[in-house]
Each structure stands twice: as C-alpha cells, then as structure tokens.
Amino acid sequence: MRSAIVLFSSILLFAVPGFAQTDIAVDDLAHHPIALDFPSGGQLEMHLRSGEIRIEGSDDGKFSVRASGKRGGDSTDIRAHFERSGDFGRLSVAGGPSNDVTITVQVPKSSGLRVRILAGEVEVKDVIGNKDIELKAGDLNIDVGSAANYAHVEASVTSGSIEAGPFGESRGGLFRSFEKFGGGKYKLAAHVGAGQLTLK
C-alpha cells in the first residue's frame, strides 16, 4: 500500500509541472495562430512588433494570438513565441511586412499585463487586471473602466497628448504626465514616447 502511495505521488510530481509549462514557437503566425487555455488572474508579458495591435479581454479562459491585415494576412514570416510557466506567460511577435499588419491578442479579462511595443496604433479593452503598457511612437488607447478600480495610476507622454476622462485629466505638449492614488486594487502605468495616450 505504501509503495502504491509513493508511486502515485511521484506521478503527480512529474505530471503537474509538465501540464503547467508550455513553449510554442511558430514561423507563420498568419496561417498558424496560437490558441490555448490560460489561468484567470495570470500575468502576461508581451513584446510585440509594430503595427495595429489589439489586446482584448474575454471570459472564456483562453489565450490566443493571430495576425491579419492587408499584408499581414498573406504574410508567411510573422514569427511568434509563447512560453507559459504556471500562471505566467511571455509572448513575443516579430517579423513580417513593415505595414498593414494587425496583431490580435485575446487574454482572460482578469489578466495582469506588461506590454512593450515599438510603434503603431494600440488598443487595450476589457482587461481589468494590472496594466503596464509602453508604446514608443503612435496612439495608445486603453479602456480603463471605472477610476475607482485603481490604487495607483501613472500616465505620461514624452511628446504628444494625454486624454484621460475617467481621471479628469487632459494634457498636451512635452513631458506631460499625471499620477493618481485611489482606493481600488489595481495598478495602471501607461507611457507613450511620441503620440497620443487615451484612457477611457
């Protein structure tokens, strides 16, 4: 009996980590999108190529990434790599044509996000977890929901404008920023190098 218990424990020891770890790499994202389960409330780090970027929260407990657009949908060399260990995931997307590319990432809506993008038009919506998002150049639009959900908010542009209606802020010019503290549970950090930052 004791031997059976030891054997069963050993199976669990090796099976659980294997189940919780994932490493997927594709060389043709447009024709081979990535889709898999991801835990609600997990943390996701993303390093994404320039383009039109859409990050969307959903209730179905899934993570997915796909490429489309006038040229992106026909491209065969947009590369993506996703690693997962437990409730942490890291995504990188690179390659492909220089324009007319749309990258759509679907995440569980309670995910925490850390996102870095070189340039483009970026929209983040229906994600209620912590958000730390930086865009070097372009337009960054984040659906923040109620301002009361946040404990700490930092927003800045090096050159451009900030429109943040939920937080009562509107600023434009060079080196514009604001910081807010509240009674919520989430943190928001958003930065644009050159362009417009909209929190709505």
Q: What DSSP letter does each residue of 1-56 carry, written as one string?
A: -HHHHHHHHHHHHHHHHHHHEEEEEES-TTTS-EEEE--TT-EEEEEE-SEEEEEE
**pTM of the complete model:** 0.87
Report the alpha-carbon distance of residue 170 to residue 198 in Å, rounded: 9
Q: What's residue 20's pLDDT?
A: 63
Q: What is the dihedral of CA 51, 22, 39, 118, to 10 degrees?
A: -20
Q: What's residue 8's pLDDT?
A: 36
Contact 40, 89 (CB under 8 A): no
Q: What's residue 75's pLDDT?
A: 92
Per-domain residue ranges for the chain?
Answer: 20-102, 130-200
Q: What's residue 183's pLDDT?
A: 95
Q: What's residue 191's pLDDT?
A: 98
Q: What's residue 195's pLDDT?
A: 98
Q: What's residue 108's pLDDT?
A: 97
Segments in the chain forming alpha helices (H): 2-20
At 123, list the tokens.
Answer: 């929209």
Report the alpha-carbon distance of residue 196 to residue 91 in Å, rounded: 25
Q: What's residue 174's pLDDT?
A: 97
Q: What's residue 4's pLDDT?
A: 40
Q: What's residue 5's pLDDT?
A: 37
Which residues in the chain show pLDDT less than 70? 1-20
